[in-house]
Amino acid sequence: MKKLILLAVVALVAFASQVRAQETSVKSEVKEAVKGPVITFVETEKDFGEISQGTKVEHTFKFTNTGTEVLKISNVAATCGCTVPSWPKEPIAPGKTGEIKVSFNSTGKMGKQRSVVRIYSNASEPIEKVALISNVTKETR
């Protein structure tokens, strides 16, 4: 009986050691994943609902560099000329925030619109996307 109890205790200790080693491995992988700049948006879409044709709307997408190195945005590009982005040209230090302002002009558009803007940077995910969504209806006079 004593041998059986001793064997059970040894097995339990070995199991606990394996669990602890796996936890340490997972924690180090998480730390590895956040090295370098990381752009984290508060939101990645803004839905304006229905807007009349010819209406201009804009939204400011706020973000934080949640990484460990300086974030540099090299370019921000829209899917069409009806969407115009503006972004910070200076580097964003770790823990600091920035804003990307996007405006959409619905002149000549009808129906469901999804204006996508791509953000190119040195972040761990080098291309991020934000979007303005609207449903353009006939202009009311």
Sorted by where each begins, the domain ranges of the chain are 1-33, 39-137
**pTM for the predicted model, two decimal places:** 0.75
Over residues 50-69, the pLDDT tens digits come to 999 999 999 999 999 999 99
Q: How far is 116 from 80, CA to CA, in rounded Å?
A: 9
Residue 139 confidence (pLDDT): 73
In what helix (H) or strand (E) does residue 97 lie, and over which residues does it extend?
strand 97-105
Per-residue pLDDT reduced to its tens digit, 86-131:
999 999 999 999 999 999 999 999 999 999 999 999 999 999 999 9
Of all helices (H) and strands (E), which one includes residue 86? Answer: strand 83-86
Q: CA nearest 110: which of 132, 131, 78, 135? A: 135
**Which pLDDT belongs to residue 126?**
96
Instruction: Tell me the CATH number of domain 39-137, given options 3.40.50.10490, 1.20.58.100, 2.60.40.10, 3.20.20.70.
Output: 2.60.40.10
Short-list 115, 110, 128, CA closest to 67: 128
d(CA 49, CA 89): 31
